[in-house]
Structure 1
Amino acid sequence: MNDAPDLADDVEPAPRPRRKGIYILPNLFTLAALFGGFYAIVMAMNQRFENAAIGIFCAMVLDSLDGRVARMTNTQSAFGEQMDSLSDMVSFGAAPALIVYEWALKGMGKLGWIAAFVYCAAAALRLARFNVNTGVVDKRFFQGLPSPAAAALVIGFIWLMDDSGYKGFREGPWLGWTAMGFTLFAGLTMVTNVPFYSFKDISFKRTVPFIVIVAIALSFALVAYHPPTVLFALFVVYGLSGYAMYAYRKAKGRPVSVIATSTDEPDEQGLHR
């Protein structure tokens, strides 16, 4: 009879990996941005397009804050990054496509929903490319029009027209074609390699001249005077600024790519050009 002790009984079980918690502060901003996008869809379904536009612009403000809050409080996480991308897809991809379709494109038949789908698909592609190119893109620029700005371009046009008394496809084909033009321009510009200034190199910890604070106060006053007109004009200028920068760099013989370094991943080389 074997009286040797059973060594398996003496081996302690491996400790279970500790589950990581979820930082609540930055994700609160992300969830609030997601709520803004969902709220905008519901308002559009009820033909309340001004409220839908306000929902999208509120989502933009909240989306710009969640990352900064995470960096300031040192609460960045992989979960937060994925949550932010999913929220962006709803608020700046699906929501604007559905809103513009409901407002003007559904009266154009098949062309209308195809244009809305092109925008939605472009937003998904742009967000996916952004996620995989994070380590190689020059932080000072976006590769293609960022999805919040694209959403602001489309929704800003709807808000301006609705505020002026134009009720979408009921006004005639001209408004449907114009809305389609803005939708396709915004969607396709998202997936170009045109550089758009990201404003990420602006530090809020540095001192600035007094005139800068005065200019900021005047900007708030200008937006408050008539938000639909001012916001739409600002994002039209921003939407064209990338092409102007691209043309200027091309004319000066400077590199137009925003890729800062090369990559050794041959299967993804097409994403980095």
Structure 2
Amino acid sequence: MKSKQANLIYILPNLFTAASIFSGVFSIISAVNGEFDKAAWLIMLSLILDGIDGRVARLTNTCSKFGVEFDSLADMVAFGVAPSLLMYLFIGHEFGRFGVVASALFVIFGAIRLARFNVMTVSSEPSVFIGVPIPIAAVFVSLLVLLFDKYGLHDNYGIVIMFLSMLVSVLMVSNIRYPSFKTVDLSPKHAMKSFVFILSALLFVFMYPIEGFALLAVIYILYGVVRTIVLMPKTFIKK
């Protein structure tokens, strides 16, 4: 009986990973059918499922090499292929070969980002990410589609999506450091600040879901860039 329970606990995080893949494939099918908003929200759902599977694995102490590899393959589908195809079908096809290159670049650099993460991460959880994590990049592209579709900007400013997607693709393989939030300081000294920030963010997202998520994604991406620029003079001084 205990053995069966142990096996069930072992497959639990992998079920969430499989659900993330399903959501990614459903997003691809929705994009092919021209349901771009639905496809974008399904990528957001994959982000939630991707976050759950890792936490379930750590809570149940069922982390395994198989789980790590399975998760990477899931990320490639949900956060590599799905947003790339969404971007291409939404606006990229209007730019010919440039649209193909921009879409392919996102998948290729996303694969490099995942491979580098797997090589650099052995057994300990990273306190920072090197380069923009591929789930954040995927959500960023999805939110661009949602924003441009909501305000009808893709007719005149579709090229902006292409350039921003290429920019975030490059940031994925950059050496810019981003917080992982896995070692958040929740001591009494910082608990109130964290509570106020999280509550404010949730209320803003509740009122303006698309704009709220987009703002959070932009702040996260810009944080790493600005932090690097600010610290750059100090790095040169030390050398």
Q: After superposition, what is the alpha-carbon deviation per residue over 1:42-83, rounded to whole angstroms, capped at 9, x for unaligned?
A: 111111111111101111111112111111111111111111
Is 1:190 the counterpart of 2:172? The answer is: yes
Aligned to 1:251: 233
Inter-CA distance 26–210: structure 2 relative to 1 (3 Å threshold):
same
Is 1:98 the counterpart of 2:85? The answer is: yes
Matched residue of 1:253: which SS? helix
Aligned to 2:19: 32
Give the number of equivalent residue pairs.
231
Aligned positions of 1:214-233 closer than 5 A? 214-233=196-215
For normalisation by structure 1, the TM-score amounts to 0.78
Aligned positions of 1:51-200 closer than 5 A? 51-135=38-122, 139-166=126-153, 168=154, 171-172=155-156, 174-175=157-158, 177-200=159-182
- 2: CA distance, partners of 1:133 / 1:210: 34
Deviation for aligned residue 1:219 = 2.2
> What is the identity, as a one-letter code, of the residue corresponding to 1:114?
V
For normalisation by structure 2, the TM-score amounts to 0.88
> What is the identity, as a one-letter code, of the residue corresponding to 2:149?
D
Q: Which has the larger radius of gyration?
A: 1
Aligned to 2:223: 241
Structure 1 segments of 4+ aligned residues over 3 angstroms from their partners:
135-138, 206-215
> What is the identity, as a one-letter code, of the residue corresponding to 2:80?
G
- 2: CA distance, partners of 1:214 / 1:145: 25
CA-based RMSD: 2.4
Structure 1 unpaired stretches of 5+: 1-19, 257-273
- 2: CA distance, partners of 1:91 / 1:240: 23
Matched residue of 1:142: which SS? strand
Given that 2:41 and 2:142 are in contact with CA atoms closer than 8 Å, whether structure 1 keeps it comes out as no
Shifted more, 119-128 versus 60-69: the winner is: 60-69
